Amino acid sequence: MADNILELKNITKVFPGVKALDKVSVSIQRGTVHALVGENGAGKSTLIKVLAGIYHSEEGEVFLDGVKVDLRTPYESQQKGISVVHQELKMSETLSVAENVFLGNLMYKGRIVDWKGMRQRASEMLRELGVPMDVTVAVERLSVAQKQMVEICKAINRNCKVLIMDEPSATLTEKEQSLMFNTIRKLKENGVTIIYISHRMEEIFDLSDHVSVLRDGAHIATLPVANVTRDELVSMMVGRAVAHDYPRSAKALGEVVLEARGIKRKGVLNDISFQLRRGEVLGVAGLVGAGRTELARAVLGIDRIDAGEILLHGKPVKIDSFRKAIGLGLSLVPEDRKSQGLVQIATVSRNICMVNMDAVSHGFVMDAARERQVSQEYVEKMDISTPNVETEAQYLSGGNQQKVVIAKWLLEDSEIVILDEPTRGIDVGAKSEIHRLIVDLAEKGKSILMISSELPEIVGMSDRVMVIHEGNLVGEFKRGEATPEKIMALCI
Amino acid sequence: MSQLTAGRNVRGRFSKFTKDYAIVVAILLLMVVFTFASDYFLTYRNIRNILMQTVSVAIVCIGQAIIVTTGEFDLSLGQNVCLTSAVMAYLIKFAGFNPWIAILCAILVGAMVGMSNGLLIAYAGIPCFIVTLGFQMIARGAAKIITNASPIAGMPEQIKWIGRGFIGGNEYGFPISVLIMLGLFLLFMFITLRTKFGRSLYAIGGNKEAAYFAGINVKAHRAVIYTIAGALCGISAVILVTRLDSAALTNGNLYEFDAIIACILGGISLAGGRGKIIQAFFGAIFLMLFFNGMTMLNVNPFVQDVLKGVVMIGAVALDVVRNRRR
């Protein structure tokens, strides 16, 4: 029997409408680097948050050093020796390095805070990690890499036995990365167990001893890295054959409706050009942060672009605000349904009629009866499950909320519909209904730009797939050519 | 199943109604208590007086309620009333303006102060707390400069009826100022509940980002409501000056807070996106009744100040508890 420092048994975490973790059981060996991989939304972050005491799992047990532990708050997790270096670092920016390292865990000399001792100790620890720095500097003046080191120091200072790192390399330069890898190796030598989350295959093979794959909230496999190839890992991540039948029928596409030429936004988008045809579903694949949402925002006039041109029906247009984009027949089903897509405390009917108020008003005055009637039509046509149109949107399930967001743009009759993660956090049944809606739109001659992290969805739905990586357009596949594996290989 | 949901709906609507208009019940209770406590309270004269005293602050309440609906507030409203009072009186008494032109100018100045607030908040992105607090001081200072800190009294007869006149004789007539106030409430009820503009305001109050992503011009709407609230301050000042026959530095003092308290008492959520401005009207009536009754019962005015604070905190606590239950 292996010497396991951490054992997770049957961890299940449910969010409204979606099972984020489904009976996940993983064992982590003491003193190893254990990689955790999976697509966006596979459940990695949720799992970490359970270990960090931020989320509470509905089911399942966590054993630390063979003892069952109850992780109810981040403080408890830390006390028990589990520390997390989050992707978005949460530090007291205005305090010094030394103060951050000892935050909540001050050293005392008698009853007086021992600043000198803490500065010395912090400085020593950083030197041991191979990153000497001035510990009196305020954290806000450090680079991301340095901040991560301070976070690691803080964890060590709390006697952490298990250090969880959530995509630490995502924002580092190459030189910083190799420095950090050295640090990780040093930590390992000192007996710290590391759980390492990354999308980058090279790192995983370089650094880790074991790797666990998560997919759709389920644990797929845990293997020694030596026993697995890169391709096997990718196919485990995307795994499933297309989960359900996508209702897409190949049709001849119409003329070019939207064309983007050389869209540039400094540090975000680098010279991206594409065409979107009438009746086409154009999928946009890529990792979170690759620039997919940013591309949509740039096209829609939400973010300013530094260079490039947008053409509608072959004519150049200047889109400098989202309102103007709407006027030109574009629309957006935003990524974050709860905070961007809907006014939660407004009724279903008001949400549906929020964009095209003209359709339900006479001049300035709203026609309440017409508003209800129109909303009722959409509720029936799109099979939105709600007690009635006067119910507040917040009481609907995720899938039905998303239908309400789409209904807004159906009422507006937008020619080009941009959907950003249209089925994220939506259960399987509602998902296929949304897919059906998207296909209907395309068949009615609308043009669809669909951003999605879910590869089977992208492959199943799209006539064409664009792959974006670090702000660049790195590949394009026709329908039939695209496979999850090929796309994933370009994403990472 | 459908019967079940229907039943829940009726109950839901009833509980929503009682929650939205709990303030009306509170007003009735208060009236009963004061009626027993004083013979004078429930006379036409007294009720009419209370209403007339409510008019100026109630008109400010309309503006405040609209702003609160979008999740913000305006601390400059009271001093805007003070400033526009001073502008109007000064123009009439010392600049020889036709009173009607002076009234128009007062309303315009009010609107301009409001617009300055709105532009800074919506387009420069400065928090409403800071901007409106700043304009509170600016307006007060400007009023002091204009009046030299002493009251300007004695308005011409041709406009006195606005604040003091009655339809149907002085004895039993109905106050014209109250009619103006009711008209304004009706107008703005219509605007907020029945127009595209109003619909957009509720969307903005419910979720600014989602409103933006629905193509609503969030910035422009925010700027406009502060302007409206400012213009209403001007109207409030006109009625106040003609009723009191004087523009003093006490005009409009603390109206902004009274208006916020009225909104809260009426049940308008400070978080935005919920509530009707008529609720602020009832809130204002409640406040006035409460303090009129206190005075009638000879409660020490200093104690009344303390009670005002208690009522305000109590009402906010109520709002918090209500939101938590949601």
The confidence score (pLDDT) of residue A243 equals: 46
If asked whether residues A482 and A455 sit together in one domain, one would say: yes
Asked if residue B63 is part of any domain, the answer here is yes
**Contact pairs from chain A to chain B, CB under 8 Å:** 70
Whether residue A198 sits in one domain with residue A291: no
What digits encode the pLDDT tens for the residues A70-101? Answer: 888 988 898 899 999 887 778 888 999 999 99
The nearest alpha carbon in chain A to B207 belongs to A343
pLDDT at A240 over 60: no
Q: How far is A387 from chain B (nearest CA, A)?
A: 7
Q: Is A72 on the interface with B (CB under 8 A)?
A: no
Residue B9 lies in a domain: no
Which of A336, A344, A357, A362 is best to mutate for the B interface (most B CBs within 10 A)? Answer: A357
pLDDT for residue A431: 82
Residue B224 lies in a domain: yes
> What pLDDT was estimated at residue A242?
42
Weakest-pLDDT range from A241-250, A350-359, A374-383: A241-250
pLDDT over 90 at A146, yes or no? no
Closest in A344, A364, A368 to B196, CB measured: A364
B190 in a structural domain:
yes
Residue A69 lies in a domain: yes
Domain count for chain B:
1
In a domain, A185, yes or no: yes
**Predicted pLDDT of residue B272:** 92
Same domain (yes/no): A366, A227: no
Query: pLDDT category, A25, cuts 50, 70, 90?
Result: very high
Q: Is A323 among the domain residues?
A: yes
What residue numbers bound the domain in which A465 lies? Answer: 256-491
Query: Would you state the pLDDT for residue A269?
Result: 93
Tell whether B14 is covered by a domain: no
Mean pLDDT (whole number) for A306-320: 95
**Within a domain: B19:** no
In a domain, B57, yes or no: yes
**Residue pLDDT, tens place only, B150-188:** 999 999 999 999 999 999 988 889 999 999 999 999 999
With H, G, I as helix, E, B as strand and everything else as coil, classify residue A92: coil
pLDDT, mean over chain A: 89
Would A248 be classed as within a structural domain?
no
Asked whether residue A380 falls in the same domain as residue A330, the answer is yes
Q: Please compute the mean of the pLDDT values over residues A223-242 and round it to a whole number.
A: 79
User: Which 8-state DSSP code applies to residue A119?
Assistant: H
Tell me which residues of chain A, numbers 314 to 353, contact chain B at a CB-CB cutoff of 8 Å: 322-323, 326, 332, 334, 339-346, 350, 353
Q: What is the mean pLDDT of residues A45-67?
A: 90
- Render pLDDT for A168-202 as a digit per residue (tens, 0 to 9): 876 677 778 888 888 899 999 988 999 998 877 77
Does residue A225 sit in the same domain as residue A290?
A: no
Res A490 pLDDT > 70: yes
* pLDDT tens figures, A409-463: 999 999 999 999 998 877 667 788 899 999 999 999 999 999 998 888 898 899 9
Sort out which chain B residues have CB atoms less than 8 A from A408's CB and list them: 214
Same domain, A223 and A312: no
B197-219 tens-digit pLDDT: 999 999 999 999 999 999 999 99
Does residue A250 form part of some domain? no
Chain B residues lying within 8 Å of A365, measured CB to CB: 194-196
Which of B8, B196, B212 is opposite residue A357, by nearest beta carbon? B196
Query: In chain B, which residues have pLDDT < 70?
Result: 1-19, 319, 322-326
Mean per-residue pLDDT for A315-335? 95
When scoring B1, B213, B269 by the number of chain A Cβ atoms within 10 A, the one with the most, hence best to mutate, is: B213
Helix (H/G/I), strand (E/B), else coil: A274 = strand
CATH of the domain at B35: 1.10.3470
Asked if residue A362 belongs to a domain, the reply is yes
pTM of the model: 0.81
User: Do the chains contact at A339 and B196, CB–CB below 8 Å?
Assistant: no
A249 domain residue, yes or no:
no
- Better pLDDT: A244 or B144: B144
Please judge whether A344 and B214 are an interchain contact, meaning their C-beta atoms are less than 8 angstroms apart: no
B17 falls within a domain:
no
Domain with B231 in it: 24-325
Say if residue A401's pLDDT is above 70. yes
Q: What is the pLDDT of residue B102?
A: 97
Q: What is the pLDDT of residue B19?
A: 67
How many domains are there within chain A? 2
CATH number of domain containing A226: 3.40.50.300
Rounded to the nearest angstrom, the minimum Cα separation between A352 and chain B is 10
Question: Who has greater pLDDT, A116 or A239?
Answer: A116
**Could you say which of A238, A264, A281 is where a domain stops?**
A238
Q: In this structure, are A187 and A315 located in the same domain? A: no
**Contact list, A339 vs chain B (CB under 8 Å):** 207, 209-210
